[in-house]
Copies of this chain bind each other. A is one copy, B any other.
């Protein structure tokens, strides 16, 4: 399905999607026209979903990451829906995962400071009955690269 060139293209595009096609072509030893066709095909076939701008966390004044682990109190049957709703309403929640094992959720939240986090926290707990919430504050981000492994990076 994907050959070496495709993988190398994808690896580059994950690092820099703004690169001129001529540069990209050079890096994979292809002509610009052939390169254009391949990228179009990778989009068409769904390997490339979209391109997004990566903003600076400090500049945007949301330098702080908090991970929240949640245990649900499943009293009412409608909580999964209300939970999903909260996720889309609250912009500070950038990731939400349902974990294996017990009915646990892990959220990744992006905020400006702890006061900001507190407002988000209150918004979450006001909407759903939670059994247990523990917050883990990130003191230092050692790595944060959205690039997926391509095996030919």
Q: Which residues of A are at the interface with B, using a C-beta cutoff of 8 A?
A: 10, 13-18, 45-57, 59-60, 62, 65, 67, 83-84, 87-88, 91-101, 104-106, 110, 136-150, 153
Contacts and interface: CB of A to CB of B under 8 A. Distances in A.
| Copies of the protein in its oligomer | 2
A51 B65 CA distance: 21
B18 A47 contact: no
Given A49-B53, A98-B139, 4 more contacts: A15-B52, A47-B55, A95-B141, A110-B149
6 pairs of A and B residues whose beta carbons are closest in the complex: A13-B53, A91-B149, A97-B138, A96-B142, A96-B143, A98-B140
A75 B107 CA distance: 32
Contacts of A47: 55-56, 59-60
Contacts of A101: 136
Contacts of A46: 56, 59
